[in-house]
Amino acid sequence: MDFEEIVIRTDRLDFPALVAGDGPVVVCWHGFPDHPATFGPLAEHLVAAGRRVVAPFLRGHHPATAEQMPYGDGLTLAADGAAVAEALSPDAPVDMIGHDIGAGIVGRLAAVWPERLRRGVTMAVPPPRTLPAMLSDPAQQQRLFYMWLFQLPDIAEAVLETDRRLVDYLWSTWSPGLDPGEHRERVHAVYGDPRLLRNALRIYRGNFDRALHDPELGPLAARSEVPADIPLLVLAGEDDGCIPPEYFADAEAGLAPGSSVRIIPGAGHFMQLDQPAEVARIVLDWINT
């Protein structure tokens, strides 16, 4: 997919983004360790179906925003998602897909700013309400070893700045058998920039360190973690080595009525690359209703 890079100007931040196609907007938010261009194979199908795909860089994940990440909490990122949606479509809600960290953006945006979301899709991460049970499982704690490593100041930076073998390891275990091809170089370039790497670590540390939470958004925090009032499509990869599909079994308990949870056969964590045609089919069925 040949993307064009643009800048989306919002009242919060100017977001660099990759765009392709014409028609109703589908905003795609990436996760870690990732790059917006990995939405390319999925975007080809969405563009062919008459959609304009907009894939922003997360705050602090592009050189233009490297110095603009004072906070790393999930609510900050969701507020960014709402601002981007408003800038792209001031008078109507937009369709939105979130993968990994991006799934948290879509879920929290749906709960706090539902007027900005027409149809939402989350990929590879279950709803917030199901996370405590998942995190209490020692086997899952082991799979999430990188999250605990990232809490260690200086050590995490040293591990990731020395080389990107950990990034390659996560990709190979999360989507077994996937050859990332040209995306490997893109992802390495992002986390090879110490400024962008530190910003990614701030997101993970923001899960536990309240000093990284924006106090102005604090009154919205409780609302952001409960099920949204609007239905969501939740996708999981059958072969995901980060969060296996069994942790999505109770996902509907954390979702609004009318939501749907789907397991993608033959897909790992990076399902937009593993099975782009099947993911596109399911997504288009969802957003076209």
152 pLDDT exceeds 90?
yes
Residue 128: the pLDDT is 82
pTM of the model: 0.97
Stretch 130-141: mean pLDDT: 90
Q: Which of 148-152, 171-175, 252-256 has the lowest mean pLDDT?
A: 252-256
Residue 132: the pLDDT is 84
Helix intervals (H) in 89-154: 101-112, 131-135, 138-143, 145-149
Closest CA to 106 of 276, 283, 247, 240: 283
225 pLDDT exceeds 90?
no
Which sign does the torsion angle of CA 36, 201, 96, 215 carry? negative
Rounded to the nearest angstrom, the gap between the alpha carbon of residue 74 and the centroid of all alpha carbons in its chain is 11
Tokens for 134?
């998942």
Domain range summary for the chain, segments of one domain joined by +: 4-287
Stretch 47-54: mean pLDDT: 98
Going by pLDDT thresholds of 50, 70 and 90, the confidence category of residue 263 is very high
Going by pLDDT thresholds of 50, 70 and 90, the confidence category of residue 79 is very high
CA distance 227 to 242: 23
Stretch 256-270: mean pLDDT: 97
End-to-end CA distance of the chain: 26
Sort 55 into a burial class: Cβ within 10 Å, 0-12 / 13-18 / 19+: buried
Q: What percent of the chain stands above pLDDT 70?
A: 100
What confidence tens digit (pLDDT) does each residue in 155-212 have?
A: 999 999 988 999 999 999 999 999 999 999 999 999 999 999 999 999 999 999 999 9
Third-level CATH fold of 4-287: Rossmann fold (3.40.50)
Closest CA to 114 of 30, 227, 218, 11: 227
Sheet of strand 25-29, all strands in order from the earlier edge strand to the far edge: 4-9, 14-20, 52-56, 25-29, 94-99, 117-123, 232-237, 260-264
279 pLDDT exceeds 90?
yes
Q: Which of 5-19, 128-142, 147-161, 213-227 has the lowest mean pLDDT?
A: 128-142
Stretch 125-131: mean pLDDT: 87
Q: What are the C-alpha distances in Å from 8 to residues 19, 29, 123, 185?
A: 11, 14, 23, 25
Which residues are paired to 28 by β-bridges? 97
